[in-house]
Structure 1
Amino acid sequence: MPSYRVMLSVGSLRPGVRPDTLLPSAAASAAEHATVEANDIMMLRGEPQLVVRFTGTDDGFALGVGSAVESTIDRLAEVRGARVTRRDGGAWTLVGAV
């Protein structure tokens, strides 16, 4: 089964939201639909990125998981961008934006 990841660029938090709740919320949202393999926060061009890696049956399914995660995080923080990538050998291939 292919490995995918959803990557979300996040900005300002919504009022009352603690920063340490974002990544667990993203992983929990993905886990409602797929098996989560890993999750992490990284900096990309000075902007925080939530990364949740999961398995999926196909690209359409993975985009649906990505959309669910984006919707969850959008209630907690400003989402400046979200995309889903698929692991192809040693590289990550863009599946699409969500």
Structure 2
Amino acid sequence: MPSYRVTMTIGALQPGVRPDAVLPAAAAAAAELTTVEASDLAVVAGSARVTVRFTADDGDLALAIGEHVVATTRQVAVPATWLVTERVKGRWLPVR
């Protein structure tokens, strides 16, 4: 089964939310719909970046899962940007 990931740059936290709540919320949102392969939090150029890697049958389903993850994450943080990518021959390519 193909591997996808949704990557979000986090702009701000919702009031009263602890920083350590964002990654588990994003991973749990994906797990509601599919198998989560991995999740990660990194700081890139001074901004928090959350990545959730998951499986999906095709790009359309991956986009729907990504949108669900972003919508759920909005309850705890503000995703400034987000992108769904697919693993193809060792590279991560945007899903259109």
2:94 corresponds in structure 1 to 94
Which sections of structure 1, spanning at least 5 residues, go unmatched?
none
Alignment partner of 1:4 is 2:7:
no
Superposed CA deviations along residues 5-64 of structure 1, whole A, max 9, x for unmatched, are 000110111111011010000000000011000000122332111000000000000000
Normalising by structure 1, what TM-score? Answer: 0.94
Determine the C-alpha separation between the residues in 1 that align with 2:43 and 2:62: 23
Q: Secondary structure at the match of 2:63?
A: helix
CA–CA distance in structure 2, aligned partners of residues 16 and 44 of structure 1: 24
Pairwise CA RMSD:
0.9
* Identical counterparts, % of pairs: 47
TM (norm. structure 2) is: 0.95
Equivalent residue pairs, number: 96
1:48 corresponds to which letter in structure 2?
A
Q: Report matched runs for 1:36-47 at 5 Å.
A: 36-47=36-47
Runs of 4+ in 1 over 3 A off after TM superposition: none
Amino acid at match of 2:90: G
Q: Which residue type is aligned with residue 74 of structure 1?
A: R
**Aligned counterparts, 1:54-73, within 5 A:** 54-73=54-73
